[in-house]
Amino acid sequence: MPGGGARLLQGGPIATEIRQAVSEDVVAYVERVGRRPVLAVVICGRDAPSMVYLGQILRSCEKVGIEGRLVEVDGEASESSVVEAIQALNGDPEVNGIIVQMPLPPTIRLRAVVEAIDPSRDIDGIHPMNAGLLRLGYDGFLPATAHAAVEILRRSAIEIEGRRAVVIGRSAVVGMPAAFLLVRENATVTVCHSRTRDLARHVKDAEIVVVAAGHPGLVTGSMVRRGVVVVDVGINVVDGAIVGDVDFDSVRPLASAITPVPGGIGPLTNALLLAHLMRAAKGQEAPSETTRDTPIASPIVSRDRVAASRGVR
Quick count: other Cβ atoms within 10 Å of Cβ 99?
23
Q: Is residue 7 part of a domain?
A: no
CB-side neighbour CA atoms (13 Å) of 232: 31
Q: Tell me what pLDDT residue 1 has.
A: 44
Residue 75's pLDDT is 63
* pLDDT tens-digit readout, 129-186: 999 999 999 999 999 999 999 999 999 999 999 999 999 999 999 999 999 999 999 9
> Which 3 state secondary structure label does DSSP give 268?
helix
Do 103 and 149 belong to one domain?
A: no
Domain identity same for 180 and 276: no
CATH number at residue 82: 3.40.50.10860
> 309 vs 85, which has greater pLDDT?
85
Strands in the chain per DSSP E: 7-8, 38-44, 67-73, 97-100, 164-168, 188-192, 208-211, 229-232, 236-238, 241-243, 257-258
Domain that holds residue 83: 22-131+267-283
Distance CA 223, CA 168 (A): 13
pTM of the entire structure?
A: 0.87
Confidence at residue 289, expressed as pLDDT on a 0 to 100 scale: 44
Determine, yes or no, domain membership for 3: no
> Are residues 272 and 260 part of one domain?
no
- Identify whether residues 147 and 261 lie together within a single domain: yes
Q: Does 275 reside within a domain?
A: yes
Coil/strand/helix, residue 10:
coil
How much is the pLDDT for 303? 36
Q: Give residue 47's pLDDT band: very low, low, confident or very high (50, 70, 90).
A: low
CATH of the domain at 228: 3.40.50.720
Rounded mean pLDDT, 240-253: 95
Q: Is 63 exposed, middle or buried (0-12, 13-18, 19+ CB in 10 A)?
A: middle
Percent of the chain with pLDDT over 90: 78
96-110, 141-155, 184-198: the lowest-pLDDT one? 96-110
